[in-house]
Amino acid sequence: MRRSEGCVWPLAAVLAATALPLGATTFNGDPSNYRTLLRQLKPGDTLSLAPGKYAPLHLVNLNGTPDAWITVTGPASEPLAIIQGEPGANTIEIEQCSYLSIESLLIDSRGIPGAFGISARGHEQNFTHDIRIDGNTLIGQGGGQQTDGISTKTPTWGWVIRYNKIIGAGTGIYLGDSDGTQPFVAGVIENNLIRDTIGYNMEIKNQVSIPDVPGMPLGPTSTIIRNNVFIKDDRPSPDGDRPNLLVGGFPDSGPGSLNTYEIYGNYFVHNSREALFQGSGRLSLHDNIFVDGPHTYPAIVLTNQGRPLKVGMVYSNTIYTSGPGVRVKNAADTAVIGNLIFSSLALSGLIVGVADNITGTPQMASLYVRMPSFDVSAADFYPLPGMCWGKPIDLTLVRTDKDYALDFNGAPKTAAKGAVVFRGAYAGEDANPGWHLAAGLKAPNTPNRPAPMLVWVTPAIIRPGTQARITITGANFGSDAVVSVSGTGLQVKQATIDDATQITANLVTDPSVAPGVREITVKTSTGVSNGFKLSVSPGRGRQH
């Protein structure tokens, strides 16, 4: 069944608190007065634009605070506030702004070459950061491949780009500059639909250095790219064929050299001439669905381009393509773990670690998933019963990744079977209880109380009469976490909560304890984890 783009989402998953800060004002603007009102906005204020057609917005010196953002918004439903492009200008230009939210606007560049939808340019002279682009529709940026829907060309950080539709742009989102001097860091790009672009759906440029800009994060940061839908069509790309998503590398040393990209929960669809994803630098790529890459080129490519590939963790993805699946072109710290890959050649190149993948030809996919298809909305890659799982998967290598223990639907990977056993992007089987694949906005994951989750325990085999230091890997370990083991004859002592994903503890076994299988659990104020199986082997061990 085809699903329309409209759907009912849980209110709490979409809306932040709407109470205005004390003293904040909502101004009602229209095409006759909005420019005057823009100059009056203070921290916490909102400019609500009435339906109508507006000349390009030049947002200058609008600086909210972390607790009192300035908001420029249009109506949430039709009729809309339409910001129209004009020759010689970007449709919305952001200059010297911070803690500013741009919401619910129709941004139409009217096919004018070079008229970007939303732009922050000016290099180091434009001190702009902490910008939220939320719930807008961008059209008319197709005047050329170099015309961008959203663009930054200034050193910047703290952007949130979410719930936007970018349709038919030259390039959907382009963050950074071509020479690597205008880094975009510590951002979140989530739940957007970007489709039918001439070039990239999205690119984050490589970064040669992090400049000395006041407030610019210098320590390790992550840019999160999650729950987006990236779709290409077959229109020509006169300036060169481009992947759906490309992320560039980071500085070789110093500030920014340990930054990462965490890319998960995305739906990549169709590219007949380039990869669905290409990445350099330090990245994790997990719990995504990749469909219909080129017939003769891999769907996923990790490589040196501009900056070197240093770390590439590819795990828990579903790939369905007529061509090759994953290729690592350059030597780096890489691993491909727990994926479900249907392709002409699953893996190639210089991959260091390979484990627990299910691979096959595209023709075999129907034996494993409900409805393999290149049709963006007809496809259903949810596993058939009993087909896409095996022995538990060790994900300790990636435990510091955000949401590493959640699947494409945002469901705990241990929920169905008590351990991480599913291969691919979904951790379940039979009927998909989550968002159905479509050429629309991916619904936000329903928030829930984060009960603790156990993913791995090592060592998982102990002997009677021994004391072992065990490491428990999982998620949502709070400061009140208590570790327990079932049965008698085993005691947990000196448990240390290392962080939210790791606990270390001493496990002491009596000499007379009976062999068999026990379960370790972790309890916090939010609930009790799944039980992870621990084996007591026969025979007395040596005391350590």
Q: What is the pLDDT of residue 23?
A: 77
Separation of alpha carbons 467 and 482, rounded Å: 19
**Radius of gyration from C-alpha coordinates of the chain:** 25
Rounded to 10 degrees, the C-alpha dihedral 403/408/411/417 comes to -110
Separation of alpha carbons 36 and 41, rounded Å: 10
306 within a domain of the structure (yes/no)? no
Domain boundary among the residues 159, 191, 218 is at 218
Distance of CA 386 to the CA centre of its chain: 28
Q: What is the pLDDT of residue 9?
A: 45
pLDDT in tens, the chain (544 residues): 233 334 444 333 333 334 456 679 999 999 999 999 999 999 999 999 999 999 999 999 999 999 999 999 999 999 999 999 999 999 999 999 999 999 999 999 999 999 999 999 999 899 999 999 999 999 999 999 999 999 999 999 999 999 999 999 999 999 999 999 999 999 999 999 999 999 999 999 999 999 989 999 998 999 999 999 999 999 999 999 999 999 999 999 999 999 999 999 999 999 999 999 999 999 999 999 999 999 999 999 999 988 999 999 999 999 999 999 999 999 999 999 999 999 999 999 999 999 999 999 999 999 999 999 999 999 999 999 999 999 999 999 999 999 999 999 999 999 999 999 999 999 999 999 999 999 999 998 877 778 999 999 999 999 999 999 999 999 999 999 999 999 888 999 999 999 999 999 999 999 989 899 999 999 999 999 999 999 998 865 444 3
Domain boundary among the residues 170, 201, 218 is at 218
Q: What is the pLDDT of residue 10?
A: 38
First-to-last alpha carbon distance for the chain, in angstroms, is 60
SS3 track for 80-115: CEEEECCCCCCCEEEECCEEEEEECCEEECCCCCCC
107 within a domain of the structure (yes/no)? yes
Task: Please provide residue 242's backbone torsions phi and psi, each rounded to the nearest 5 degrees.
Answer: -135, 145
Using DSSP's 3-state secondary structure scheme, residue 2 falls into coil
369: nearest Cα among 80, 360, 32: 360
In the sheet that holds 340-342, the strands lie side by side as: 52-54, 81-84, 106-108, 137-139, 165-167, 193-195, 229-231, 267-269, 289-291, 318-320, 340-342, 358-360
118 within a domain of the structure (yes/no)? yes
438 within a domain of the structure (yes/no)? no
Domain boundary among the residues 218, 252, 283 is at 218
Supply 235's token pair.
């229109």
384 within a domain of the structure (yes/no)? no
CA atoms within 13 A on the CB side of 194: 34
* Cβ atoms < 10 Å from Cβ of 215: 11
* Residue ranges making up the domain that contains 517: 453-536
Exposed, middle or buried: residue 266 (CB in 10 Å: 0-12, 13-18, 19+)? buried
**Residue 482, H or E segment:** strand 482-485
Q: What is the pLDDT of residue 431?
A: 95
284 within a domain of the structure (yes/no)? no
Q: Could you give the number of structural domains in the chain? A: 2
Exposed, middle or buried: residue 212 (CB in 10 Å: 0-12, 13-18, 19+)? exposed
Q: Give the CATH number for residue 472.
A: 2.60.40.10
224 within a domain of the structure (yes/no)? no
394 within a domain of the structure (yes/no)? no
